[in-house]
């Protein structure tokens, strides 16, 4: 079983907290197997899933899972469309540290003796 799924979803930008619309697309290839069946050697692109006791699958659940897996981990606008993306997101200055002596330098001297 192979197919494609597309959906238009509304996500919340994690930079500016505004809602934005985006399209999610997924292509999938599955091989249905019974619970007690031994998995045959399949091409790498094929995924397997178990059918229920009647040999049926919940197609809506399969497509929903595929779309959920293709959601971005951190949804954000494109920089040009995001109110916060236009600004540098680093705050303050990074202080310079003084050069400290290596705490293992004493061990190195003992090793030489």
Residue 101 belongs to some domain of the structure? no
Residue 95 belongs to some domain of the structure? no
Residue 9 belongs to some domain of the structure? yes
Q: What are the phi and psi torsion angles at 50 (to 5°)?
A: -85, 140
Residue 32 belongs to some domain of the structure? yes
Residue 110 belongs to some domain of the structure? no
d(C-alpha 55, C-alpha 32), whole Å:
9
Note down the domain range covering 63.
Answer: 2-89
Task: Report the pLDDT value the prediction gives residue 104, as an integer from 0 to 100.
Answer: 80
- Structure tokens of 25? 């697309």
Residue 99 CA, distance from chain mean position: 40
pLDDT surpasses 90 at 9? yes
Task: Report the pLDDT value the prediction gives residue 51, as an integer from 0 to 100.
Answer: 82
Q: pLDDT tens-digit profile of 12-67?
A: 988 888 889 999 999 988 888 777 767 677 777 777 777 878 878 888 888 898 89
The burial of 66, by beta-carbon neighbours within 10 Å (0-12 exposed, 13-18 middle, 19 or more buried), is given as buried
Residue 107 belongs to some domain of the structure? no
Residue 49 belongs to some domain of the structure? yes
Residue 102 belongs to some domain of the structure? no
Interior angle at CA 89, CA 88 and CA 93, nearest 5: 85
Q: How far apart are the first and last CA of the chain?
A: 72
If one counts the domains in the chain, the total is 1
> Which of 82, 70, 78, 80 is closest to 23 using CA atoms?
70
């Amino acid at each position: 079983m192979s197919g494609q799924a597309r959906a238009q979803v509304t996500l919340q930008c994690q930079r500016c907290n505004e809602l934005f619309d985006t399209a999610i697309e997924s292509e999938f290839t599955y091989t249905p197997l019974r619970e007690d069946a031994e998995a045959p050697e399949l091409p790498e692109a094929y995924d397997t899933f178990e059918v229920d006791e009647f040999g049926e699958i919940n197609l809506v659940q399969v497509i929903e899972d595929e779309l959920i897996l293709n959601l971005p981990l951190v949804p954000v606008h494109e920089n040009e469309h995001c109110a916060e993306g236009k600004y540098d997101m680093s705050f303050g200055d990074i202080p310079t540290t003084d050069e400290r002596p290596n705490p293992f330098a004493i061990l190195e001297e003992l090793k030489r003796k």
